[in-house]
Structure 1
Amino acid sequence: MEDNFELVYVYAGHGKNGAVFEEIPAQFIKANQYKILKSPGLVQNLAKGDVIEITGKAEHPIVISRGGNFCIQMYFPTKIDLNKLSLDIKLKLDGTLDSANEDVCSFSIPSSNGMNKINQYFNELKDETQAEWYYANIYKNIDNPSDETLLNWWNE
């Protein structure tokens, strides 16, 4: 991670008690614009390397540019060896384990791997661990989980 960073509060959605935010390490670019330094574990539509604009309101940030990474969020029902997993992700996908909080992990995986290779890796991991996983930054309508319209930024 970059030495020059700050924690920014990024809107993740609404919960029972109102707006929910996630603290994400980012590099300041200019007023309200930041480069994300780690893929989030809760916020949708962002990954490491993306440049965003935060409006300061309880609304999703605006993505100015994509950093070329998929954000994979994964939920593990049992404890796993995070050091082994982190090394495996690095060696097989040139990715990083960006956060781990109890049973939730987020990963940054370069889109250059291609979705077939990424799907195969994470589906095999799911078979081994019974973990659930998904791409957190590929869907157009992040407020409607049943809408699977893709952004296709990785094909541009």
Structure 2
Amino acid sequence: FVASVDRQSACFSHHPDAVNQYGVLVNDEEYTFVFHWFFMTCLWAHGTPIYSERQETLPIEYVDIRQFIREARPLFESEATVTVRVEGTNLATGEPRTVTGTVEGVQSVVGGEESDPQIAGQVTLIVDTGHERVRIGGWNAVVEDVEATRIVVTDVADVDSYPSLRAGTEPAE
């Protein structure tokens, strides 16, 4: 069992059949980040969802920049225009900041080399607001302009090419 609450607290316990029978409660953002990555790499990436209330029509919300990039990759590769609203923290001031614009690019770097954004490395989303290019990072962003806590896909140009994003319809099989 793993639970992460507002990126500030985490709860963890072993599988009931495990030899070690204990649980951990953490109220620290850095340790919560460790439990988050344990969940994402060891459980989520390899598991099959049993139930989801996730919306498949616009707007679609993400709390993880990597999952957004994985799922939106076909849109980026087809050069579709993806409009997003990013809620997060301005890293220069520490103040909340919301950025709205089109995704201009995605950068994923490990050790100075371009890489796949699946698990490791720095991932940056570049959003063009019409006035500026804003660099968006995920949890624990350091070098970007904004640390995203929520990414909302608000529009996709040429939505007919992506029936699962057409409002009011069922996702394509």
Smaller-chain TM-score bracket: under 0.3
TM normalised by structure 1 equals 0.25
- Greater Rg, structure 1 or structure 2? 2
Query: Highest relative contact order (Cα 8 Å, sep 6+), 1 or 2?
Result: 2
TM normalised by structure 2 equals 0.23
